[in-house]
Structure 1
Amino acid sequence: MANPEPLLRTGTTVDDLHAALRERVISGDYPPGARMSQAQLAAEFNVSRTPLREALQRLEADGLLIASANRGMHVAPVVNSETEESYALRLLIEPPTVSGLIDEFTTTDFDEMRTALDEMRETRGHGRRFQDAHDRFHDVALNRYPASFRDLIKSLHIRIYRHQRVYLAHNRTPDDFIGVDNLYLDALISGESGLAHHVLQFHLTDAALGLVLDADSDHRFASLLVALRGRGIDVEHTADGTVVRPAAITWSTPTSPMPSLRTSNLVFISEAELVDDVG
């Protein structure tokens, strides 16, 4: 097990300890299956067992640790189906929520999102820093969600965070995220709720495909496809749920005037481009 760096001081709060341990799980310093020995961790972090035990229990609630009678606590595996399900739930909840909040965003919100987007551009190739900037970008909207929605989405995001960290390390991924997030911000600023709704649907679907298929190119999707159908969206796939990238995405009802979007995982061709091609 890797030595944590830096070690925490005596008197560290449970919040600090939880954050430090969480980062080490997410970064892979504590890989899936690693045993979380309380004696070893207490010595490494120079803390007593009481705050350590509470921090570990929080990580278990986050879905990052698993407790068993025989093995104690160990790092949970990264499970593709759970990542898919987390994105399916986000797809059902977040786009309509953002549409409903479109008139509540402020100039300060947009300034914060611009700053985060600039940081995303500056931190390409720096996995954690890019991920943190991406989180700050979307947290602006998340912090306006009703409390119960916000808590649920945060819990889902914690469960995909390790998976996302690996995915964002790929050279192509930051540019895909930046391009779609830039269009999303433009839609929010202009008050185009329909466009913001569809761009966020595209973004969540794109991320879900990328994270899961990078880990297992033969993965058979189920819950994500159900959520998409429920929202009148189709992503090109085979009868058994296999998706080959880049997959075409279409909406059963006319979308707002969304431009064509292309990422490594997903392609949307706008009506305007289709007309031009025919012409």
Structure 2
Amino acid sequence: MDTEDRSRAGDAVPLVHEELRELILAGHLLPGQRLTQRELSDRLNAGRTPVREALRMLEAEGFVVSRANHGITVAPLDLDEAEELFAALLLLQPPLLARAAREVSAEALARMAELSLAMRTVPQEPRDFHRDHFEFHRTLQATFGPTLDKVVNDLYLRLSRLQRFYYRGRRIPAFAQELDLAFLEAMRARDGVRARRVQELHMLNSAVGLITDVDPWHRFGPLIDAAAGVGIHLPVGAEGRLAPPVRATWATALPGYRPVAGGWVVDATAEHAHPPGR
């Protein structure tokens, strides 16, 4: 391949990577499906070199798996992995919101307001909702610093595959829009503590809702440990099961805070602090 051909192949790699990733996210390439460079080249009308490079990128991101004598396949959907990803996000992202609340720009808040309104009022396909939802939270990551931004971004991207696949044909849960609105209101008030609480509740609802809907008998571990590590108690049932609605309690009560109702996890901190009859 001469210099010009290599240049053209390099230009095509990002486009092929994006097309292949979208085919996986949308469920057009199914978990466990074997992929060949020839078939993908024909399907995308692209050369073998950009397809090969795009597959390497997707393998690094966890979307495909390459094994000796088995070729390349679409990575399976793994609930244990999903739980670990949610646990990692719970530990990492919400604590950074205090700084984000201090530094978020008026332009960023305006963009988040536009996205929140669209997610709540405009009928959307799962692909559109997840695109807007990703951007809604991505807007704040500029305050995290480049290294933390990349780590958080990678976690969200890996989770997006499972979420997109799961929500095909399902309605987007109402709690997601309402929690995003409560989160936006906290950021407008520059209240990082309240924003953190809302985002923790959001992550727990997403994690428990998705996982228990797929497998009600899932044995939780990392999510429970991560929650405890940030001061959240989740009442665990037999063999590590979480039975929705999970009545979570935070170590610290927030005066004046009214938690948004969630379908799978509710903030019962105030009830715990003031039991009925006292």
- Tell me the TM-score normalised to structure 2 length: 0.90
- Tell me, in whole angstroms, the C-alpha distance in 1 between the residues paired with 2:154 and 2:127: 19
Q: Determine what percentage of the aligned residue pairs are the same residue.
A: 30
For structure 1, the 5+ residue unaligned runs are 1-9
- Tell me, in whole angstroms, the C-alpha distance in 2 between the residues paired with 1:98 and 1:20: 33
- Tell me, in whole angstroms, the C-alpha distance in 2 between the residues paired with 1:278 and 1:173: 38
Residue in structure 2 matched with residue 138 of structure 1 by the alignment: 137
Q: Is the 8 A contact 1:260 1:270 kept in 2?
A: no
- Tell me, in whole angstroms, the C-alpha distance in 1 between the residues paired with 2:273 and 2:229: 25
- Tell me, in whole angstroms, the C-alpha distance in 2 between the residues paired with 1:123 and 1:97: 30
- Tell me, in whole angstroms, the C-alpha distance in 2 between the residues paired with 1:35 and 1:203: 35
Q: Which residue identity lines up with residue 154 of structure 1 in the other structure?
A: N
Give the CA deviation at 1:275: 6.1
Residue in structure 2 matched with residue 249 of structure 1 by the alignment: 248
Q: Which moved more, 1:166-175 or 1:263-272?
A: 166-175
Residue in structure 1 matched with residue 78 of structure 2 by the alignment: 79
Q: What secondary structure is seen at the aligned counterpart in 1 of 2:240? A: coil
Q: CA RMSD in A?
A: 2.3
Where does 1:101-112 land on structure 2 (aligned, <5 Å)?
A: 101-112=100-111
Residue in structure 2 matched with residue 63 of structure 1 by the alignment: 62
Residue in structure 1 matched with residue 97 of structure 2 by the alignment: 98
Give the CA deviation at 1:100: 2.2
Q: Is the 8 A contact 2:198 2:259 kept in 1?
A: no
Q: Is the 8 A contact 2:248 2:269 kept in 1?
A: no
Residue in structure 2 matched with residue 6 of structure 1 by the alignment: none
Residue in structure 1 matched with residue 45 of structure 2 by the alignment: 46
Where does 1:161-240 land on structure 2 (aligned, <5 Å)?
A: 161-169=160-168, 173-240=172-239
- Tell me, in whole angstroms, the C-alpha distance in 2 between the residues paired with 1:148 and 1:218: 36
For structure 2, the 5+ residue unaligned runs are 1-8
- Tell me, in whole angstroms, the C-alpha distance in 1 between the residues paired with 2:114 and 2:167: 19
Relative to structure 1, the CA distance from residue 234 to residue 38 in structure 2 (aligned partners, 3 Å threshold; closer, same or farther) is same
Q: What secondary structure is seen at the aligned counterpart in 2 of 1:33? A: coil
Residue in structure 1 matched with residue 147 of structure 2 by the alignment: 148
Paired residues, what number? Answer: 271
Residue in structure 2 matched with residue 16 of structure 1 by the alignment: 15
Q: Is the 8 A contact 1:62 1:155 kept in 2?
A: yes
- Tell me, in whole angstroms, the C-alpha distance in 2 between the residues paired with 1:199 and 1:129: 23
Q: Which residue identity lines up with residue 192 of structure 2 in the other structure?
A: S
Q: Which residue identity lines up with residue 30 of structure 1 in the other structure?
A: L
- Tell me, in whole angstroms, the C-alpha distance in 1 between the residues paired with 2:71 and 2:197: 44
Give the CA deviation at 1:143: 2.9
Residue in structure 1 matched with residue 4 of structure 2 by the alignment: none
Relative to structure 1, the CA distance from residue 237 to residue 125 in structure 2 (aligned partners, 3 Å threshold; closer, same or farther) is farther
